[in-house]
Structures are given as structure tokens and as C-alpha cells.
Structure 1
């Protein structure tokens, strides 16, 4: 099996890469940032997600594309448009041209950032309420995923990724939003075997005791997270819950202006 990952040099890619290594599996890493140290079965192919020819070449022969590339926080509209929105189109078009059957898109809870935490589990799938241009970019990515799945019979999973980290730090909202690297790896393994053409929109979050999210859409495609932030509570953990808070967190704070560079 060949898995191709965009944005592999970023935080999320770096955390999950070691968990994807298997005998007989090749993991092709792509990024505009060089990756010098490669693990067993890994290969690096420099490429920008805005370069259709380079992306098509990088995806050739892949069984699964994992799209983690792009800006990971708010940026001016022109940058979101070029890198996150156009880049999402390029990734999906390249996957289609290369004949890749499955794509896992890294969406974000910021596609629904203006939903209050208390309302987030009201439905397995929430309507978009983006909190930033970054969030708008993720909504556009989900829409593109839906289009390519329907038009070309691809299996596309848009995963609204929450807080990916090895630990929960001092807790706070992370007790509700944590996605362990191991659970992200479980999601990737699930999608690598998924044979259900169409667009599947799910939450990428661990099975946290204080979770704000429904896991039903993920379970419907076979994703069963096992980790719980509660198991990481220590003496300095902030266990306060604020279900009146927005999913956006600081992304909707007045100190983080729309289109600003954070």
C-alpha cells in the first residue's frame, strides 16, 4: 500500500508519521519544507499543494491521499484563497487524475467555530459556521471533497480535526477537543480500508469523557477512537467546563482579527 501525505512536515504530520509505518507500506511525504530524517518505508517528494503537475506525480500509484497541507491558522484572504482553497482543489484534482480511490481531507472544527460547545453534539454533522477566513477555507475544502466524491465516484472523508497533541497540557478546553495521535492513526487506517464511495463528513476527536462532539458519523464508517483526555488529568489540570464557549476558542477573540496573521 502507498499512502501520500501533504503537509507532512507540519505538526500533525510529524506526530502521526511514526504510527503509520508497516511492513510492505510506503508512505510518500510531500511538503515545501524538506524532511531530512525518514523512517522505514518513508520517502520524501518536495511539492507544493498549489502545483497540479507536482501533486499528480506525487500521488501516482497511491491508495490513499491524506491532505494536511496549507496554512494552519488565520491568514489574509489572498493567502487562504491561494493556498488553502486553491490548494484543496489542486489536491483533489491531482488525486482524481492519478486515479487515487480514497482521500482523507484535514478539515477543522473552525469550519463550525461559531457553534456553542453546548450545541455541538446536537447532530452528527453540523452546518458550517466558520469563524475566520481559515474556517471558510475548510468549508470550501469540504465542499470540494463532496463534489469530487459525487462527480468521480471517489471515497472522500472530510475530518473536522480538533486539538491534535501528544498530551493535554494544562487541560481546559483540550479535555473536550483532544485528538490523540494514536486515534488519528486509527482514523487513517480506517479510511485506508474504506470502500464506500461518496463524501463522509466526520469529527476527528478522541473518545473524551467531556467531549463536545458526536462520534456517530465516524463510527458509521468504522472509526472508533479509543483514547480519553480524562486519563491524562494530573494535579495541575484545569478541569473547568464552559459549554457556553464557542468552538472557535481564541479564533473568534477580538485580539485575533479577521484576516490577521497570528
Structure 2
């Protein structure tokens, strides 16, 4: 394909439009671009008559290619968004993500924003600050699938010229629900700002950034996002009491409470935690 990433985005497609984050983006991105196209296996329950919905199963390349026809950019949210069995993760998150990138290549789509996850690095200790250049340490099959998606993003960016922004999303919610989310929370409008960077920044080729707000307890160095002009408005610390009250209601997790992935990392964990080379707890 030719490099057409500098053209203005007129038609943007959102995969996974029926999910929680997809629903938020439908509202927050309305009117930002001349046309917003939605796709998922089933239509959102609150779909408006004016919204352009194209049903597609991400595991079906032909259906995905049809959904992407005529669009300039894709925000790829569609996935199994929690830990699951291998067959489900493989179909939706790995085959599905491949199909999105391949369909984008075939249809000449200029840009893809890939919704990755901090679960790509969930086995790092909480007292270690890392950047996006740290080696992946996925905490689940789900996290592994997102690391695989980031590898696909790099392939399609450097080999085929698709401009790609991978956003390692922390937690999208109105408030941080517990102690862990004081570090990884992302204000919904901050996510939209990052997506717009992916869709509009003239110098973007391929980047990986953290999908978090300006949290005082952040575990992650987001200098790549700041270099692209990111100016987050949220700070989880302003809702500290709410988060700590939520944390107090949770049972202790001797493994998860020391790891960035939390319960995702501790689930199914076997053996000696010392193999993770944890630094002393603060």
C-alpha cells in the first residue's frame, strides 16, 4: 500500500462498539469526524437511527474487510477484554486483530489505533517504574494476546506503512475503584485525547503509549505520549478516598498485591514468587 497516513480522517470506524469503552467513545467522539462507523457482532442496544452500524465477527476476515471498506482510520477495541479460555482469546484477540490489520492493509486504511493493555506487563512489581521499552511480561492469556497484537502493529507499520498507535490502556472508568487503579486509571476524555493523537498527529508512524491520566502514583513512564502532545486532564489521586474505600473491601492477595497486574497476575499462579525477582515492598 502507499503511505496515505497524512490524509485527513473523514471516516473513522470503531470495532467493539457495543462494549463499555466502545459505548463511551461513541458518545465522546460524536461530531469529531464527519462520519463515525461502528462494528461489533451485535448492534449496541442504544444504537441511534443516525449511527452507521456494520455487523461483523472479527474472526471472519471477509466480514472485517467489508466493514472497513471506505474508512480512513480504525480504532480497534474489539476483543475478549478479560482473561478467558485459549480458544476464545485466540479467535477474538489474535485472529481478530490480525484480520483488522490485514483488512486495513487491503482497503488502504491510513491509520489504526490499537487498544492494547497494561496486562502486557502485569508481572512487573508495583515498585518498579517502567517505560514502553520494557520487555513484555504478560500476566494472562489475555495479556499475551495484546502483546501479540502490538507485534502485529509493528509489522503492519514498518512493512506496509499503516500508521499505528498502540495504547496500553490501564482502567477506563469514572473513578478509580481500588489502590491498583490509583496508578493505572484513565479519565475517559484522556483516552479520547490519545486516540485523536493516533488519528491526527502528522508525524506518527508507530508508537506505544500508556493509556493513563496524570496519576501521581503511576507505575509507567509516558514520555512517548507527552512527546506527541498528550496533556491529560485527570489525576486519580483526587479520588484517593474512594479508591482506598474500595480497596478495604477486597480480600488480601499476597501475590497480586505486589504485582502491577493484580489479581490477573495471581490467578493460576503456582510456585515460588521469588522467581519474579520482586524488589522489597515499600
SS at 1:74's partner residue? coil
Aligned 8 A contact 1:117 1:245 in 2: yes
Larger Rg: 1 or 2?
Answer: 2
Q: Say yes or no: does 1:149 pair with 2:157.
A: yes
Query: 1:243-254 residue pairs with structure 2 within 5 A?
Result: 245-254=258-267
Would the alpha carbon gap of residues 190 and 37 (structure 1) be closer, same or farther in structure 2, given more than 3 Å must change? Answer: same
1:109-128 equivalences in 2 (<5 Å):
109-121=118-130, 123-128=131-136
Where does residue 260 of structure 1 map in the other structure?
none
In the other structure, the counterpart of 2:199 is 192
* Deviation readout 1:76-129 (Å, 9 max, x if unpaired): 2222222211111000001111111110001101111111122233x3432111
Counterparts of 1:147 and 1:50, CA distance in 2: 19
1:135 to 2:143 alignment: yes
Partner of 1:54: 63
Indicate whether 1:87 and 2:100 are aligned.
no
Alignment-derived partner of residue 26 in structure 1:
35
Residues in 2 aligned to 1:40 and 1:210: alpha-carbon distance in whole angstroms: 43
Structure 2 counterpart of 1:178, from 179, 185, 191: 185
- The runs of 5 or more residues in structure 1 that have no matched partner are 258-262
Write the distance in 2 (CA, Å) between the matches of 1:256 and 1:58: 39
- CA drift of 1:235 comes to 6.3
Alpha-carbon deviations, 1:204-227, whole Å to 9, x = none?
111112211111011122222221
CA spacing shift, 1:148–1:253, aligned 2, 3 Å: same
Verify: 1:224 aligned to 2:228, yes or no: no
What SS does the aligned partner of 1:196 have? Answer: coil
* Unpaired segments ≥5 residues, structure 2: 1-9, 248-253, 271-282
Per-residue Cα deviation, 1:124-173 (whole angstroms, up to 9, x for no partner): 4321111111111011100000000011111111111101111223x311
Once superposed, what is the RMSD of the aligned Cα atoms? 2.4
Instruction: State the shift of 1:234 in Å.
Output: 4.1
Aligned residue pair count: 254
Report how far residue 196 of structure 1 moved: 3.1
Q: Does 2:113 match 1:104?
A: yes
Q: Matched residues in 2 for 1:176 and 1:160: separation? A: 13
The 5 A counterparts of 1:30-45 are 30-39=39-48, 42-45=51-54
Counterpart secondary structure, 1:168: coil
Write the deviation string for residues 174-230 of structure 1: whole angstroms up to 9, x where unpaired. 111101111111111111212335321111111112211111011122222221112
Paired residue secondary structure (2:258)? coil
